[in-house]
Amino acid sequence: MENYLPLLFGLGIAVIVAWWLMRMFAIKMMAFIVNSVMGTLVIFLANRLFEWSIPLNLPVLMVCAIFGLPGSGTILILYFFGMIGHGPAPYLF
C-alpha cells in the first residue's frame, strides 16, 4: 500500500490541474462566443435599424468572430466611409 501513495498523490494533483485547465478553457471559450455573437448582432442591427447594406460575408463574419465588438465597430466605420460595401460616403461630400 505504501508504494501506491505517491502514485495516488500524483494522480490527484493531475486531476486537479486538468480540472482547473478545463475550467479556464471553458471560461475563455464562453467569453469568446459571447463576444462573437455580440459583434455579429451589432452588424445585423445596423443593417436593420439604419437600413445599411453591410454584407454579411465570410471576411466580415470572421472579423466579428475574432475581434467581437471592436471588430464590428471597425466594420461600421469602414462601411460609413465607403471602404466596404456601398457605404454612404458619396453622400457626405
Q: Where are the domains of the chain?
A: 28-91
Distance CA 37, CA 16 (A): 32
Q: What is the tens place of the pLDDT at every residue in 31-82?
A: 889 988 999 999 999 889 988 888 888 888 889 888 989 999 999 998 888 8
Query: Quick check: 25 pLDDT over 90?
Result: yes
SS (H, E, C) the chain: CHHHHHHHHHHHHHHHHHHHHHHHHHHHHHHHHHHHHHHHHHHHHHHHHCCCCCCCCHHHHHHHHHHCHHHHHHHHHHHHCCCCCCCCHHHCC
Give the predicted TM-score (pTM) of the model: 0.67
